[in-house]
Structure 1
Amino acid sequence: MEPLTWKIRLAAAAVSLCLLAAAGTASAQSDPRTSYVGNNYDTSSASIPAKEIKAQWTAAMDTVSDDYAMGKGVVATGGGKAFIIQSGQLAALNVQTGARVWKFGSGLQAPLLYRSGVLYAASKTGAVYAVNASNGKKVWASQAASQGAVQLVTDGERLLVNNGDIQAYGLKDGKMLWRIHEETGFIRPIVAEGGLVLGQNSVSGAYTYDVLHAYDPATGKKLWEAAKHDLPAAVKDGTVISQRESTLVEAVDLTTLDILDGKTGKVLKTVIYNPQNMNLKDQGPGAGDFPAWYSGNRIYLNAGNKLYSYPADADPAKTTRDTYSVESVDLRYAAGPYDERILFTNNSRLYGVKTTDKSTVYYGGLRNDIARFDLIGHGVYIIQTDGRLIAMHLRTAKPVVQLKTGGNVFGPSLSVNGMIIVQSKGKVQAFKEPDSLKMK
């Protein structure tokens, strides 16, 4: 063989080996590229260094077809019991064992509400029931119907049922006290707080806008309404603090909170926040209008990949704000502040920011997208879209336990008497809360 021919063949063989070994390198047009290697590794969550456990007990419950309602939760808890609907009956389960303690009624459906030893539920026909949570005996049944209930709430003296209208029943005898009807119903949850019942609906005309309504809880009489205002960020000291809303014809460029008189709805004070020091001439409409809420003695503004915080009663132009963020543009605020953490996610990765020094914590090991997570004790209980729950320590980011639920579309995980309750479509499960995650 000629030396030159031998060298050419050797070089060609070396090039072929490199093309096979190196994914993503350039190649001649004749290279067919018939294979691709991506995330070719074990994607089972069992590879996470956390103890795999089984549920202490599992019970079937009636399926809720509305995924939004399921996400809000359909299980009520209290007095060491979990309350669910099974075959149209209200069933009380011992949270330690899952054993059924009692059952009640027929044709019942979610939502359920537990308050002060009494369980409240509505039937498909609209009858509302109050049931003794200890023994399952009927306390009262309403004569007036509230069909299609989507929310039950108490204000201390009355049971309020939201089914688009609002009905008030006496807590002691179930007598209907009043009914509120607006032309367009209350599709968002109502609020009963600070001696007021607050609801929000939408009004359509040349354009659509929201209206905040305030009612007297004793009589149901409307006290006032405020157009282009959201449900309250807070109700305190006889005032309602509501965020002003943008419309198609009137943009709110910066987060604007109106402090309304609780009795009249009159605007007592307006506070405007501009945490990014925006020059509004250079920005589009609503560029600095971020959702706001109160937590403790601070107010928080959700700007997506950043969370801003101010002292609640301070002038934002004269005080120092805190900023929490993760250096990744695709992450968005998710939860907190809770247990010295504020959480950000893009549904596949989860990060925490410490409220103490604003350093970042990574909650690694997830192999599937996040369906939801809930913060309980010192734990973040993450449920993936494959149905696997992974409980991690919020402060250390260490996985503690994992549970294959086999469910989908999950409600909030709950903590009751040392047990974690997991609710999903058609099923409720429970396991012991890990000692390391308990809030001492």
Structure 2
Amino acid sequence: MNNYRRFKPYQTYQKVLLTWIAVMITGTVIAPSTLSAEAQRAAQPPNQTSNQTLSQTLSQASSTAIPNARIAWSVNTGKLDHFAVGDGKVFLLQQGQLVAMDTKKGNRLWKYGSQLQSSVVYKEGYVYVTSTGGSIYAVDVRTGKKSWEASVKLKDIRELRVDGDHLYTISEQINAYHVKNGRLVWKNASKIADARLDGFVSFTKDRVLTNNIVSGATTMSQFIAYDRQTGKEVWSLRERYPVQVHGSSIILQSMYGSPLLPTLEYIDARTGKVLKTKSYNPLQIDTAKFPPSERYSLHGNIYMDGHDVFVAIDSSVTDQVLHVYHYSAGADPLKPATNVYKPFGKHMKSATLDEIVDGQIIFRDQSALYSFKLNNKAAVYYRAINRGQLASIYVIEHLMFALHTDGTLIALDVNSGMPLLRLQTNGLQSPPVIADGSVLILMKNKFVVIKKPKIETT
């Protein structure tokens, strides 16, 4: 089960389309006074008893001494955007060659090829890599010997993905090779002119799913499903965005036709048929009051964590402050949410929802990074974060890695907020990876391995 609200390339495009949150198509903003008393109460979150304690913590400068990470080993890489890991080995490129190194010790085990470029993926005993000339190779990780070379060359490959019997090449289009012999199975040609992948690719048993940006008089998105065996387009839907793919079921947020309320569509992956639709009305708006000429578009981002739904809305109804409405599995989407979360403090109007992960909802503003636990609303403040310089965070296996604009990377316990270690980098080329008890970090021109920090259990 995958939650694609964490998928940044897709989110960047989506946020452009969602900037008209809570504004009528006519440009008129709904006033809180037009809501019933019940609806106004629904717009106010319940008391978060930890707020006072958290506010006091936020106002105090942390004096915690953070130990520097001990580097187990490192290697210079040159310009590199990808690496792969598997079978106790790290696979990366050095001077155009594919190199395998022991994850824990860092000793080189073998090297292969020449003029290879930064697109590397591991799967079940083989590592796949591309060359500057468009060739694709499968290399046996035990021996470092070539297993096969693809039958057809392709230029401008951004990424390789393996799923089932196929190796997929991803650029502005997607193509499939047989993973056992490198034979080209199909070469994709979308029916939609000027369609290009926005970075989202997922798979079900019978379908390859992509989200595409279509340029023309206006820019729109197109969600497309291809047959896994032939590459032929089976169905497509306009202005839908992926929220979750699970088995043969796809959950999309629909923006088609400017729906009045935040809306999820449950789609059959084989046919593209809409099986059911759920519209969420956390603010209890009387939709009958708004004729088509004055439609109130309450478009919030919809997130899912398992079967729970989170509707994030920033509107005049909520005093320009982000509110996140939590609907448990099976809850009536047209009734007020049982739990509501919102940021607070002097910068609360600029706060954004960063992640819903590890049973926590993480907020960020220009002065703080903090979360609320979903099971009891306890607050967690992430100490030793220089908020004004915070660039991005990555949550992996109960650890938070906070990257600052000056290159400082801090690892914290995501559940307690305690800082565990610090590493000075020159920037990251990809998110950290945890494998074999180690944290693998790809910097600019350098690959570093540190021991995974221990999390104190209580």
- Pairwise TM-score range, normalised by the shorter structure: 0.7 to 0.9
1:309 equivalent to 2:326? Answer yes
Within the candidate set 402, 405, 408, 2:427 is matched to 408
Matched ranges for 1:278-427 at <5 A: 278=285, 287-303=297-313, 305-317=322-334, 320-327=337-344, 328-338=348-358, 340-346=359-365, 349-367=368-386, 369-405=389-425, 407-427=426-446
Matched ranges for 1:196-211 at <5 A: 196-211=207-222
Contact 2:325–2:337 (CA under 8 A) maintained in structure 1? no
Determine helix, strand or coil for the equivalent of 1:53. Answer: coil
Match of 1:54 in 2: 70
Distance 2:133 2:429 in 1: 27
Distance 1:254 1:389 in 2: 40
1:267 equivalent to 2:274? Answer yes
> What is the deviation of 1:343?
1.3
Distance 1:220 1:254 in 2: 35
Matched ranges for 1:76-87 at <5 A: 76-87=84-95
Identical residues among aligned pairs (%): 30
Contact 1:326–1:353 (CA under 8 A) maintained in structure 2? no
Distance 2:244 2:440 in 1: 29
Distance 2:177 2:149 in 1: 10
Match of 2:125 in 1: 117
Within the candidate set 154, 158, 161, 2:162 is matched to 154
Contact 2:362–2:369 (CA under 8 A) maintained in structure 1? yes
Within the candidate set 226, 235, 240, 1:224 is matched to 235
> What is the deviation of 1:179?
0.9
- The aligned length equals 381
Contact 1:306–1:333 (CA under 8 A) maintained in structure 2? no
> What is the deviation of 1:318?
5.1
1:104 equivalent to 2:112? Answer yes
Contact 1:194–1:235 (CA under 8 A) maintained in structure 2? no
Distance 1:104 1:276 in 2: 60
Q: 1:251 to 1:219 in 2, by over 3 A?
A: same
Match of 1:256 in 2: 263
Distance 1:320 1:303 in 2: 13
Distance 2:284 2:262 in 1: 12
Match of 2:317 in 1: none
Q: 1:237 to 1:137 in 2, by over 3 A?
A: closer
Contact 2:174–2:188 (CA under 8 A) maintained in structure 1? yes
Distance 2:390 2:411 in 1: 13
> What is the deviation of 1:158?
0.7
Distance 2:410 2:378 in 1: 23
Within the candidate set 198, 221, 240, 2:250 is matched to 240
> What is the deviation of 1:362?
1.3
> What is the deviation of 1:153?
1.7
Which region of structure 1 is more displaced relative to structure 2, 130-139 or 283-292?
A: 283-292
Match of 1:212 in 2: 223
> What is the deviation of 1:109?
1.6
Write out per-residue CA displacement over residues 232-289 of structure 1, whole angstroms, 9 at most, x where no aligned residue: 323345332222125xxx4334221222232221222221112233456689977521
Q: 1:213 to 1:401 in 2, by over 3 A?
A: same
- State the structure with bigger RCO (CA 8 A, min sep 6), 1 or 2: 2
Q: 1:46 to 1:414 in 2, by over 3 A?
A: farther
Q: CA RMSD in A?
A: 2.7
Distance 2:329 2:141 in 1: 39
Contact 2:410–2:422 (CA under 8 A) maintained in structure 1? yes
2:258 alignment partner AA: A
Contact 1:190–1:198 (CA under 8 A) maintained in structure 2? yes
Please tell me whether Structure 1 or Structure 2 has the larger radius of gyration of its CA atoms.
1
Unaligned runs of 5+ in 2: 1-60, 315-321
1:218 alignment partner AA: Q
TM-score (norm 1): 0.79
Match of 1:89 in 2: 97
Distance 1:354 1:48 in 2: 23
Contact 2:326–2:337 (CA under 8 A) maintained in structure 1? no
Determine helix, strand or coil for the equivalent of 2:85. Answer: strand
> What is the deviation of 1:181?
1.4
Determine helix, strand or coil for the equivalent of 1:411. Answer: coil
Distance 2:211 2:201 in 1: 7
Unaligned runs of 5+ in 1: 1-44, 65-69
Distance 1:251 1:396 in 2: 41
1:266 alignment partner AA: K
Distance 1:150 1:275 in 2: 41
> What is the deviation of 1:364?
2.2
Q: 1:346 to 1:135 in 2, by over 3 A?
A: farther
> What is the deviation of 1:180?
0.8
